[in-house]
Amino acid sequence: MALSLVLLDPAAVTEVSHRYVPVPRVLTPDGDRLGYAPVPRPYTGARRLTGVLVGHDPVARRDVACGGTVIGSRSRSLVLTAAHCLYHDGRLLRRLAFLPGYDRGRPPLGVWPVVRTWVPARWRSRPYSPELLPYDVGLVGVASGRRPLEAVTGRGLSPMRTARGTELRGLELLGYPAGKGYPGTTMYRCLGDVVEGVSEGPGVMVTRNCHAAAGGSGGPALYGGAVAGVVSSSSPLSDAKGYTVLTRLGGRPFQRMFTRADREMRRKAAG
């Protein structure tokens, strides 16, 4: 399957009026033209674990925002997001912080400064290309006071390590889309079925039921109480039958990164 993609710029304000998922493909109850609907309040369960990851690009002199979610770990301090939400235009963002359960401009569970970041090595060392999409996943370690993140948010989500070629039905994508019709401060959801997108490396998952807007990057794709992937990219704005690409959590690159991140955050807490 050939993919024509655009990376979801977390800082962009996106025009969405000519971009839609055909009505028969919208699975989300009350889903809009992109397949999304607001998440009912109060946020509970996995939605309470999901929030906004904010940062600052010192070169472009602008703030950026992505999605992220608490992933279960022994350190109890890790957040899952997309790699391009941490390295913007090849630069590591500054002043990163995670705001779980973020809602209408309020961080009810606090602001958690990022103290460490991890992305696959190839994401740091190569210019962006579609070949990097199977590796568009990142982790951040956060710390605020003496309590670990999961002591405040509740237990993080378990990673679902799907293999290349796995098809899943009824995933739930969570995020904070921005642009026309979207405030960027409210959580939205989209239900989608996914199929394999590319055969190289770990592969990627593609849903044609959801067309993620800017700001949706890094949000989780949930399946059966676990997180199967993160929102990475979408088809171009001109595509009238839009789709979204998800980076899965399968393969050794993610497993090695997760193990290293958890070990380093446990050492940091012990020290």
Q: Does residue 224 fall inside a structural domain?
A: yes
- We report the CATH number of the domain holding residue 248 as 2.40.10.10
User: Residue 162: which domain range?
Assistant: 6-270
- The answer, as to whether pTM is greater than 0.75, is yes
Q: Does residue 19 fall inside a structural domain?
A: yes
Average pLDDT over residues 36-43: 95
Average pLDDT over residues 55-64: 86
Q: Which pLDDT score is estimated for 9?
A: 52
pLDDT beyond 50 at 171: yes
Count of the separate structural domains present in the chain:
1
Higher pLDDT, 243 or 2: 243
Answer whether 96's CB lies under 8 Å from 10's CB: no
Q: Does residue 196 fall inside a structural domain?
A: yes
- Strands 158-159 and 226-234, by their bridges, are parallel
Q: Which of 107-111, 164-168, 170-174, 259-263 has the lowest mean pLDDT?
A: 164-168
Mean pLDDT of the chain: 88
The pLDDT confidence band at residue 44, using thresholds 50, 70 and 90, is very high
Judging by beta carbons within 10 Å of its beta carbon (0-12, 13-18, 19+), is residue 65 exposed, middle or buried? buried
pLDDT beyond 90 at 265: yes
Q: Does residue 61 fall inside a structural domain?
A: yes
Give the tens place of pLDDT for each residue, 101-121: 999 989 999 999 999 999 998
Q: Which pLDDT score is estimated for 118?
A: 96
Q: Does residue 96 fall inside a structural domain?
A: yes
Q: Does residue 164 fall inside a structural domain?
A: yes
Q: Which two tokens stand for residue 222?
A: 């949930």
CA–CA gap between residue 201 and residue 15 (Å, rounded): 33
Q: Other C-beta atoms within 10 Å of 56: how many?
A: 15
pLDDT beyond 60 at 38: yes
Q: Does residue 232 fall inside a structural domain?
A: yes
pLDDT beyond 50 at 49: yes
Q: Which pLDDT score is estimated for 17?
A: 45
Closest to 208 in 3D by CA, of 180, 164, 167, 175: 167
Q: Does residue 1 fall inside a structural domain?
A: no
